[in-house]
Amino acid sequence: MEIAREYGCITVADNTWATPFYTRPLDLGVDIVLHSTTKYFGGHSDILGGALVFKENNEKTAFIKKVQCYGGAVPSPFDCWLLCRSLTTFTARMAIHSANAMKLARFLEKEPKIERVLYPGLPSHPQHAIASRQMKGGYGGMLSVLVKGGRENALKLCSLLQLFTHATSLGGVESLIEHRKSTEGPDSATPDNLLRISVGIEAAEDLIKDFKQALKRL
Ligand SMILES: *Cc1c(COP(=O)(O)O)cnc(C)c1O
């Protein structure tokens, strides 16, 4: 942020994953915060949308508003209605997403068939200290695992899970799992054995039990 300011640049933070429930980029000095409202704000995997939150109302804000109005990137009234209704349960959902993700991450970290768990709430995460400084009260609902045995075992684990739907996107009440490299394509730098998990708000013990049975059969 200091470097950006030195060169007169605007800073933009995509806060879709952390959400304002855990991270407040404007308080950390960012100029514009970006959200895919498709994800945790919507929370039910049934709308598409986005939001920009500005620190200041100035001529740049007015310009971007103009682009939005003239460009037509405006959500439908029904999508706005769904989004407003979803926001009433936003804080309740986020607390469960985060608590579930922490429980699942801790469980998976001890599993011998899992090579590595990537979750900012775990002390083993390389950026855990930064996350703890920036995030308040939790670390969100997204985590990744590297599965031992490469791509083949990663895909097999996906198919053995019964509660986790094999799909892209994130932030909905239901747990999703995705073989990220298949989505990103052959040029992706994502490891072949990486699975990304959007932890839902189901009972944590059910999610852990599902992983237990899948890992046993892997
Ligand atoms: C999904 C996502 C987007 C894109 O949002 P859409 O609503 O799918 O267009 C942007 N940033 C992050 C971090 C996302 O997860």
pLDDT of residue 74: 87
Is the pLDDT at 113 greater than 90, yes or no?
yes
Q: Which helix (H) or strand (E) holds 196?
A: strand 194-198
Confidence at residue 72, expressed as pLDDT on a 0 to 100 scale? 78
Percent of the chain clearing pLDDT 70 (strictly above): 100
Give the position, in ligand 1's atom list, of the atom nearest the Cα of 169.
1
How far, in Å, are 17, 40, 81, 172 from residue 169 at the CA level? 11, 10, 21, 8
Domains of the chain: 2-87 (3.40.640.10), 90-217 (3.90.1150.10)
Dihedral sign computed on CA atoms, order 69, 40, 198, 79: negative
19 lines ligand 1 (CB under 6 A): no
* C-beta of 198 in contact with ligand 1 (< 6 A): no
Nearest CA to ligand 1 atom 9: 36
pLDDT digits (tens, 9 = 90+) for 37-82: 999 999 999 999 999 999 999 998 999 999 988 987 889 999 999 9
What is this structure's pTM? 0.95
Interval 131-149: pLDDT, tens: 999 999 999 999 999 999 9
Taking phi over 0 as left and psi of -120 to 50 as alpha, with beta for the rest, 179 belongs to beta
Structure confidence at residue 1 (pLDDT):
84
Q: Is the CB of 48 under 6 A from ligand 1?
A: yes
C-alpha dihedral sign at 43, 147, 182, 161: negative
Task: For residue 36, report the distance from its CA to the centre of ligand 1, in Å.
Answer: 5
> How many CB atoms lie under 10 A from the CB of residue 147?
27
